[in-house]
Amino acid sequence: MEIKVMKRVLDRNQDKAEQVRKLLKEQRVKMYNFISSPGAGKTTLLEKTCEYLKDKANIGIIEGDVSTDRDAQRLKMYGNPIVLINTDGGCHLDSNSIEKALSEFSLADLDMIFVENVGNLVCPSHFDLGETSKIAVVSTSEGDDKPIKYPMLFRDAEAVVLNKMDLMEHTNFNYNLFKKDLRSVNPEVPLFRVSCTKDEGLGPWLEWIEGKVKVEL
Amino acid sequence: MHETAIVQDMFRIIDQVAEENQLKRIDRVNFVIGKMMQVVPDLFYFAFDAAKEGTIAENSEVKLEFLPIKMKCKSCGKEFLIDNNVFYCPACQNTDLDLIQGKELLIKSIEGE
């Protein structure tokens, strides 16, 4: 016999994500989920962002890594409350671990939470954390074809940061092709070209994220 | 994407359905996957074959139905399929689109006795 089921798989993460989203809305805290491949520069971007927002917003950080607390240690120096999640081999954060992390913050004291997801362009974009939106970080040293290869992330992202612009001349990264592909996947997404280590081009990104502080959820 | 995690969660649902319906044997699982999820069929079959050993589904097969990515234009209402990652409305060139199909990971039905 054939039994009709019509049940979604991986539903539990989605259900929990909706609970997280509801909690954040009640507490009026915006949460941004930073997703990139390993080494694109998420942590450095967050360092620059936290430094800029120091006296402008109350930021909490959820740091996701497979192992070690190296990135968390780097971000600690900016004085924001920070919760580390080691996935011990897991390739993405999930809403359950985010919910637990949120219980360690005093949400009433925060304006925004930045989640640094595990370095991975595939899985994090499929696991809703209950975030306000995703920020895709990509770099010129990893090839210009990421938007077309990972459309789900670039389609869902509220902003795209292209890092390591200072290295572009030493690679075969074709910026026009990258932009064309990005625009076909997500025609309107803001694109910020930066070099975090050289402190170049960060102004528009920092103004954009600062602008989000006052936006109502 | 996460074929193993998908299969593991699938078996949680299979076990539930089997218990509710007193099934002793699963013959086939009919599974619907939206193309936006980037599931690799070979990896999926591999994970399924590994997970089914020693269960009531051990002689079963899984049938995958892939759904294309479908968008709806918020401006003119046109519904259309995406097959080359180009997200513009073909009728009015608008880029403000709703995704109405493509992210499914759904057990449609289970066949067994």
Contact check, Cβ <8 Å, B13/A7: yes
Q: Are A10 and A95 in contact (CB under 8 A)?
A: no
The per-residue pLDDT of chain B, averaged, comes to 91
Of the candidates A3, A181, A184, the beta carbon closest to that of B21 is on A3
B85 occurs within a structural domain: no
Q: Which residues of B touch A188 (CB under 8 A)?
A: 95-96
Q: Which residues of B touch A7 (CB under 8 A)?
A: 13, 106-107
B61 occurs within a structural domain: yes
**Would you state the pLDDT for residue A6?**
93
Residue A149: how many CB atoms within 10 A of its CB? 14
Q: pLDDT (tens digit, 9 = 90+) per residue, A33-86?
A: 999 999 999 999 999 999 999 999 999 999 988 778 888 888 888 889 999 998
**Would you state the pLDDT for residue A126?**
84
If you search the block for the tokens 């513009």, which residue do you land on?
B88
Grade residue B1 by pLDDT with cuts at 50, 70 and 90.
Answer: low
Q: Which domain holds residue B39?
A: 2-68+101-112
What is the count of structural domains for chain B? 1
B75 occurs within a structural domain: no
Q: pLDDT (tens digit, 9 = 90+) per residue, B27-73?
A: 999 999 999 888 889 999 999 999 999 999 999 999 999 999 999 99
Q: What CATH code is carried by the domain that includes residue B57? A: 3.30.2320.50
Question: Is the model's pLDDT at A26 over the cut of 90?
Answer: yes
**Would you state the pLDDT for residue A73?**
83
B44 occurs within a structural domain: yes
Q: Is B52 exposed, middle or buried (0-12, 13-18, 19+ CB in 10 A)?
A: buried
Average pLDDT over residues A140-160: 93
Q: pLDDT (tens digit, 9 = 90+) per residue, A87-112?
A: 877 788 999 999 999 999 999 999 99
pTM: 0.86
Report the gap between the CA of B98 and the closest CA in chain A (Å). Answer: 11
